[in-house]
Amino acid sequence: MRRKAIAGDDLAAIHARREALRSELAELDQRAKEAELAARDAGRPTLTAALDKVRIPAMDKTDAKAIAAAIAHHGGKIVANHLATMPAT
């Protein structure tokens, strides 16, 4: 005996729905990527504002990059805690 067709059981409709879902997932992936990038750089305005309030002596570009890389890798809190333990010169 032949089975009755169920609504939504049309192969073309299934393929169309699958494509719509893939498109929606691609859009969500892009939005998530943008949000992750924004979150990674969320501390920049705070750091820049703090740097604008202090005098910074001359330093090499490599030193500046090393400081920035340490903040990016370890986070501001760990770098700040480590710097606080250093003796003043």
Per-residue model confidence (pLDDT) at position 24: 98
Long-range contacts from 30-35, C-beta under 8 angstroms, 24+ separation: none
Per-residue model confidence (pLDDT) at position 88: 84
Per-residue model confidence (pLDDT) at position 8: 57
Asked if residue 6 has pLDDT above 80, the reply is no
Length of the chain: 89
| pLDDT, tens digit, 9 for 90 and up, residues 23-41 | 999 999 999 999 999 998 9
pLDDT cut 90: percent of the chain above it? 80
